Amino acid sequence: MAENVLNKEMIKPENLVYTKTKVLTDNVMHYCPGCGHSTTHRVIAEVVEELGIQSEVLGVAPVGCSVFMYNYMDFDMQEAAHGRAPAVATGIKRLWPDKYVFSYQGDGDLAAIGTAETIHACNRGENIVMFFINNGIYGMTGGQMAPTTLEGMKSSTTPYGRDWMQMGHPLKITELVASLPGTYYVTRQAVHTPAYVRKLKRAVRKAFEYQPKKKGVSFIEVVSNCNSGWKMTPVQSIKWLDENMLDFYPLGDIKVPED
Amino acid sequence: MAKVKGTIVVDTEKCKGCEICVVSCPTHVISMSAEVNGKGYHFAYLNDADGCTGCTNCGVVCPDGVITVYRVKVS
Amino acid sequence: MAEEYKLMKGNEAIAEAAIRAGTDGYFGYPITPQSEVMEYLTAAKPHETTGMIVLQAESEVASINMLYGGAGAGKKVMTSSSSPGISLMQEGISYIAGAELPCLIVNVQRGGPGLGTIQPGQADYFQATKGGGHGDYRLIVLAPASVQEMADFVSLSFDLAFKYRNPVMILSDGAIGQMMEKVKFKEQVPRMTEFPDWATTGKNPDRERNIITSLDLDPARHERFNLKLQRKYKEVQEKEVLFEEYMCDDAEYVLVAFGTSARICQKSVEMAREEGIKAGLFRPITLWPFPSKELESLTSHVKGMLSVEMNSGQMVEDVRLAVHDNIKVGHYGRMGGIIPAPDEIVEALKKQIIGD
């Protein structure tokens, strides 16, 4: 491999401005090239490092592409059954009220099989952070329709495009949970451009900083790409996301604390 | 305003060749290597010593966090 | 001051015993005939005394997964439900067994299948002892036959659960849950302040991170894990069998029954003895591990056994396996929530087993 690093003289600790956080393990993430899961993992790990809560944070991974999240985060985590991460997180937080607890789920996990757990964790106002990666498809099982698959969007179970007459409408669960009094901070972010990643990081930091206030759920949706499920290259997928997902899933804060 | 210059160090074995850093670099100085790494992916590299400002866009957007960025103020 | 007796429902005794056992968390959902467990706990407000959390979840599915989270975080947690609710918990129970987590699940059985009835039943025997969820796992299953045992088995369950890092089930039924009897409770045990080293309690710098999961895609490693589970179950089978015998020493015929059916059979034994039939009662207390060896040893002098269960005949299979058809084995049971009368059982013993 040609060692083609330029400006080698600059490589000194005092000049370092960005590097991978130590809260991420050295394991190479299994996600497809360009997948938004890995970026979101990285942002969470960076915030955990910056807030110094590596010994205080407890995460709950879902079943889906991010089922192996715990291989990448160097802090205590639990694996939940499909759809049950909010319930697992509730059990942990109720019994460790001073720890920072978060659940992390894909769209099928959170908005299909786990809808009841999502609604009720939010309605109870559990003091946890709920991450929701919305890539409009079931990645791990090979690209089937998800509750958030857009109308007309192809998937392995909507090969002719999602027809709401038959398969129902894409579900805006984030707006739905925002209407529940138990949610304190609800926002929809993205990770496919540097600017969006920086915004997501601020949102994640706020969400964890809110948690000790015990004011309820901080709910962060991350609209993300799924190049293999969408059958595109990573660069094509983030372009497609920009042009198609963000109309139906507009980015920005949906509910911000008044106090 | 003092001129800044930077450089990037890519963990070429962990880069998956997704090219999102390439399209995120404001000065378009990242390219994909001709050869491939151990996993068979082309990997990112800085193609112009003067073009990098150390803005960290590439590092920040890289899904796998394989890019380390350095920045120096150059008077 | 000696602890005085109280008059309580079985369901309430479970709740009081849970508080006294230093339970950290109860997560449940209403279902007849066991809603009193959670009602008692919410009225007792243990959060203000021992710090115990009591939470009504949105479903039994959510409850068992809250249990998973709490147990994975090293805490003493329990739930209670009844047959249909326990069916909803099966996936969660399999995950708990697969992640080797200690917890207590109380099943106050009602008649099935389906919505069935709210009357008592014992038809969840297979589900409890053979595993109602997926995969090769076992639940340690305790079958109380009195309100006192409902209370005593709570702390016993937690001891076994933490000793073996395994879910434990108290398999009761609506009759015992609803009946009132005198019961005495143990002294209050403080909640744990030390937690297992495998639990997710926050990664301190001095240790590697802890991961609670039942997932392993590496075939060889996953088989090794399963073999480890099987060794654990073998150890439980060898060390933790509990049973009770009533007039079996000189018995020629033995009734085998647990829970409510065992209470009835005790009377049947006395009635049979009055008719000159040397009957006895063998009461398994651990349904898993099943007391096979102990039953087998009875075949030295026992000519026949009748398994009495409020179902269509489930434990009878384990009885047959235990005695290797050296002797005659039959089953008698009522369903629909009907509790058999003692004389019915004596008649069944005569007809099916004694014959002549």
C147-164 vs C10-20: helix axis angle to the nearest 10?
40
Q: Which domain does A47 fall in, by range?
A: 30-255
Instruction: Specify the 3-state DSSP secondary structure of B61.
Output: helix
pLDDT tens digits for A191-243? 999 999 999 999 999 999 999 999 999 999 999 999 999 999 999 999 999 99
Mean pLDDT across chain A: 96
Q: How far, in Å, CA of C322 to CA of C222, rounded? A: 31
pLDDT tens digits for C118-163? 999 999 999 999 989 999 999 999 999 999 999 999 999 999 999 9
Q: How far apart are the first and last CA of chain C?
A: 57
- Give yes or no for a contact between C298 and C249, defined as CB atoms under 8 angstroms apart: no
Chain B neighbours (≥3 Cβ pairs under 8 A) are A
Give residue A2's pLDDT.
Answer: 47
Cis omega (within 30 of 0) for bond into C33: yes
Best mutation site among A69, A82, A93, A94 for testing chain C: the one with the most C CBs within 10 Å? A94
The pLDDT of residue C2 is above 80: no
Q: What angle (nearest 5°) sits at the alpha carbon of residue C341, between those of residues C338 and C343?
A: 150
In a domain, A135, yes or no: yes
Shortest distance between the Cα of A163 and any Cα of chain C, in A, equals 31
pLDDT tens digits for A11-40? 999 999 999 999 999 999 999 999 999 999
Indicate the CATH number for domain B3-74. Answer: 3.30.70.20
Q: How far, in Å, CA of A32 to CA of B63, rounded? A: 10
Q: CATH number for the domain including A41? A: 3.40.50.970
Q: How far, in Å, CA of A247 to CA of B9, rounded? A: 36
Q: How far, in Å, CA of C171 to CA of B17, rounded? A: 56
Q: How far, in Å, CA of A219 to CA of A253, rounded? A: 10
Q: How far, in Å, CA of A188 to CA of B55, rounded? A: 25
- Residues 47-106, chain C, touching A (beta carbon < 8 A): 53, 55, 57-59, 61-63, 65-73, 75, 77, 91-92, 95, 99
In a domain, A104, yes or no: yes
Residue with tokens 């009377």, as numbered in its chain? C267
Chains A and B touch (3+ CB pairs under 8 A): yes
Shortest distance between the Cα of B9 and any Cα of chain A, in A, equals 6
Give residue A3's pLDDT.
Answer: 60
Burial of C187 (0-12, 13-18, 19+ CB in 10 A): exposed
In a domain, A13, yes or no: no
In a domain, A154, yes or no: yes
pLDDT tens digits for B1-10? 678 999 999 9
pLDDT tens digits for C254-312? 999 999 999 999 999 999 999 999 999 999 999 999 999 999 999 999 999 999 999 99
Nearest in space to A148 (alpha carbons), one of A137, A156, A163, A161: A137
Residues of chain A contacting B37 with CB distance shorter than 8 Å: 1
Q: Is the ipTM of this complex over 0.90?
A: yes
User: Do the Cβ atoms of B65 and A24 come within 8 Å?
Assistant: yes
Give residue C185's pLDDT.
Answer: 97
Banded pLDDT at A1 (limits 50, 70, 90):
very low
Give residue B75's pLDDT.
Answer: 74
Q: Tell me the mean pLDDT in the region C37-65.
A: 98
Q: How far, in Å, CA of C99 to CA of A2, rounded? A: 46
In a domain, A121, yes or no: yes
pLDDT tens digits for A142-161? 999 999 999 999 999 999 99
User: Do the Cβ atoms of A116 and C67 come within 8 Å?
Assistant: no
Displacement of CA A133 from its chain's centroid (Å): 4
User: Do the Cβ atoms of A193 and B45 come within 8 Å?
Assistant: no
Split into its structural domains, chain A has a count of 1
Shortest distance between the Cα of B2 and any Cα of chain A, in A, equals 15
B14 touching A (Cβ < 8 Å): yes
Chains B and C touch (3+ CB pairs under 8 A): no
Nearest in space to C11 (alpha carbons), one of C189, C172, C187: C172
In a domain, A114, yes or no: yes
Displacement of CA C59 from its chain's centroid (Å): 21
User: Do the Cβ atoms of A34 and B18 come within 8 Å?
Assistant: yes
In a domain, A1, yes or no: no
Q: Which residues of A touch C (CB under 8 A)?
A: 54-58, 60-61, 67, 70, 73-81, 84, 87-92, 94-96, 99, 116-117, 119-120
User: Do the Cβ atoms of B61 and A197 come within 8 Å?
Assistant: yes
Q: How far, in Å, CA of A125 to CA of B38, rounded? A: 47
pLDDT tens digits for C90-110? 999 999 999 999 999 999 999
The pLDDT of residue C356 is above 90: no
Q: What are the extents of the domains in chain B?
A: 3-74
* Residue A8: closest C-alpha in chain B: B7
Comparing CB atoms, the residue among A54, A57, A117 nearest residue C62 is: A117
Task: Please state the pTM of the whole predicted model.
Answer: 0.96
Structure tokens at A40: 């979101």
Within 10 Å of residue A14's Cβ, how many Cβ atoms?
7
Q: What is the DSSP string of B10-22?
A: E-TTT-----HHH
pLDDT tens digits for A58-73? 999 999 999 999 999 9
In a domain, A149, yes or no: yes
Structure tokens at A239: 């372009």
B31 touching A (Cβ < 8 Å): no
pLDDT tens digits for C208-249? 999 999 999 999 999 999 999 999 999 999 999 999 999 999
Nearest in space to C314 (alpha carbons), one of C167, C112, C158: C112
- Give yes or no for a contact between C38 and C28, defined as CB atoms under 8 angstroms apart: yes
Ordered domains of chain C (ranges, CATH): 4-239 (3.40.50.970), 243-354 (3.40.50.920)
Structure tokens at C248: 């079996």
